Structure 1
Amino acid sequence: MQKFADYIEEIEIDSLWGGKKHIRWELNRRVNILSGINGVGKSTILNKVVRVLSQGGEFPSHLLKGVRLRVNPEDARWIRYDIIRSFDRPLLNMESISKINLNLSTELDWQLFQLQRKYLDYQVNIGNRIIATLQSGAADAAEQAQRISHPKRLFQDIIDDLFTDTGKKIIRSENEIRFTQIGETLMPYQLSSGEKQMLVILLTVLVEDGQSYVLFMDEPEVSLHIEWQKRLIDLILDLNPNVQIILATHSPAVIMNGWMDSVTEVSDITDK
């Protein structure tokens, strides 16, 4: 049986930059922010850690020489994780996408398409749990059902609040995510880059369904309004208090809401 870690306690990397540097980073259970000037290795560190994890989250030591993870509990050999990157660049394989009749043009569009499918699965799962709870006959069944559906409603409320200045609202009667704006229906692919980026981040968190997992983010602030940058970490933790955030950023705004103590400089975890 697969045993999943709740979070990563320490990341150790040998021979970063061709044998010149050794990384040892002790992590917080909740929020870990990697900072430093361009070229110092923030993205390289995150990429090496993600590469050591298989697609299913297994991390046997032979997968990538020189990268070691200490996790909690210590005998776990699997991690649930997601990776968020910031680039809204054109899709490279447009021909394959056009064959399935999708109006997608950027990598964020493709991520949103994949997340829509996960969102449908998520709704089926919570729907089944709500039905089972209501049929259980428990005295507090209605309250339990409300708790099960709370994250989805919170997600919708957060998105409506973030998009309020442009008058966009999630259509809550739809199974897929669509928006209404001044009487028109919009698909997620019609949003701005910043709106897509925030939607991708929060939807990624939601569909993990409250499980303990690790969210890696590489410069998630790109395209985000400064007020959204300030709220980003808190919104993620509101949606899933069990997530561990590991992110690299250049933005002071991301840490403004009380996260200064969670910042680690690359130079502080590097043996020269």
Structure 2
Amino acid sequence: MMKYAEYIEQIEIESLWSGRRHVVWNLDRRVNILSGVNGAGKSTIINKVVKGLAAGGEFPSHMLKGVHLRVFPDDARWIRYDVIRSFDRPVMNSEMLNKLDISLATELDWQLFNLQRKYLDYQVNIGNRIIAALQSGTPDAAEKAQRLSMPKQTFQNMIDDLFSETGKTIIRTENEIRFEQMGERLFPQQLSSGEKQMLIILLTVLVQDNEPHVLFLDEPEVSLHIDWQGRLIELILQLNPNVQIILATHSPAVIMKGWADNTTEVSDILM
């Protein structure tokens, strides 16, 4: 049976930058912000960890040489994790473009395409649980069913609130993510880069389905309005209180909404 970690307690990287530096980063259960100027090594540190998890989350035998994770509980051998990088570059893979059925697609569009499928699976799973709760016959059956439906409603309300200035709202009768703006029906690929980025982050957290996950965010502030940057962590934790955030940024707006104590400078974890 696969035993999953609830969170990462420590990241240790030996011999970073050709053996010149050693990294030891002790992590908070909920929020961890790695700060520093461009080129300080924020993304390098996150990428070293993520590369070792790419085998599907089984970490002890797949981590890169010199990369060590201490997790809770300490006998866990798997990690549920998601990685979001926010650079919106063109996708050159023709297979991806054909699947999306549009003439031009970006990396954010491809992420949205894959998330739509996860969103459909999430809704099926939640629907089955709601049916089971209602059929259970227990006195609190209706209350349980309502609780199960709340995260999706919370997500939809968040997106409507964030996109309110441009008049976009989620069409709630659709199984896939679709928007309405002044009577026009919009696909997610028609959103701005900042809107796509925020949608990807929050949809990723929603389909985690309240399971303990580690969410790696590499400079999520790219393209995000400064107000959205300041709300980002709060919104993520509201959607999944069991997530652990590991975030690389150099945006003061992300940090200054009460997360200064959760911020670590790259220079402080180098030995």
Mark the CA change 1:153 to 1:51 in structure 2 (over 3 Å): closer, same or farther: same
Tell me which residue corresponds to 1:96. Answer: 95
Matches of 1:79 and 1:96, distance apart in 2: 30
Alignment of 1:124-143 (within 5 A): 124-143=124-143
Task: List aligned pairs for 1:20-169, cutoff 5 A.
Answer: 20-61=20-61, 63-93=63-93, 95-100=94-99, 102-103=101-102, 105-169=105-169
Q: Any unmatched runs of 5+ in structure 2?
A: none
C-alpha distance in 2 between matches for 1:85 and 1:250: 14
Quote the offset at 1:62 in angstroms.
Answer: 5.0
- C-alpha distance in 2 between matches for 1:61 and 1:101: 36
Q: Distance between the aligned counterparts of 1:46 and 1:180, measured in 2?
A: 37
The answer as to whether partners of 1:61 and 1:67 remain within 8 angstroms in 2 is no
> CA separation in 1, counterparts of 2:164 and 2:55?
37
Matches of 2:13 and 2:97, distance apart in 1: 41
Q: Secondary structure at the match of 1:244?
A: strand
Contact 2:100 2:113 in 1 (8 A): no
Match of 1:239 in 2: 239
AA paired with 1:188?
P
Q: Percent identity?
A: 73
CA distance in 1, matches of 2:125, 2:59: 27
Q: Which amino acid aligns with 2:140?
A: D
Q: Is the 8 A contact 1:179 1:187 kept in 2?
A: yes
In the alignment of these two chains, the number of paired residues is 270
Secondary structure of the residue aligned to 2:230 is: helix
Rounded Cα–Cα distance in structure 2 between residues aligned with 1:6 and 1:166:
38
| Corresponding residue number in structure 1 for 2:228 | 228
Flag structure 1 segments of 5+ consecutive residues without an equivalent: none
**Structure-2 residue corresponding to 1:254:** 254
C-alpha change, 1:133 and 1:64, in structure 2 (3 Å) is: same
1:101: how far off? 5.3
Instruction: Name the structure 2 match of 1:5.
Output: 5
CA distance in 1, matches of 2:83, 2:62: 22
Q: Is the 8 A contact 2:4 2:78 kept in 1?
A: yes
- In 2: Cα distance, 1:99 partner to 1:225 partner: 31
Contact 2:15/2:22 (<8 A) preserved: yes
What's the Cα RMSD here? 0.9
* 1:152-191 equivalences in 2 (<5 Å): 152-191=152-191
Q: Deviations over 1:137-186 (max 9, x none)?
A: 01001111111110000000000000000000000000000000000000
Question: 1:213/1:166 Cα in 2 relative to 1: closer, same or farther (>3 Å)?
Answer: same
Query: Quick one: distance in 1 between partners of 2:248 and 2:31?
Result: 11
Give me the TM-score of the superposition, normalised by structure 1. 0.97
Measured in 1, the distance between the counterparts of 2:68 and 2:60 equals 9
> How many Å separate the matches in 2 of 1:77 and 1:159?
35
List 4+ stretches of structure 1 deviating above 4 A: none
Question: What is the CA-CA distance between 1:133 and the residue it aligns to?
Answer: 0.3
Aligned match of 2:203: 203
For residue 139 of structure 2, give the secondary structure of its aligned residue in structure 1: coil
Q: Does the 8 A contact of 1:108 with 1:196 survive in 2?
A: yes
Contact 1:61/1:68 (<8 A) preserved: no
Q: Is the 8 Å Cα contact of residues 49 and 63 (structure 2) preserved in structure 1?
A: no
How far apart are 1:255 and its partner, in Å?
1.2
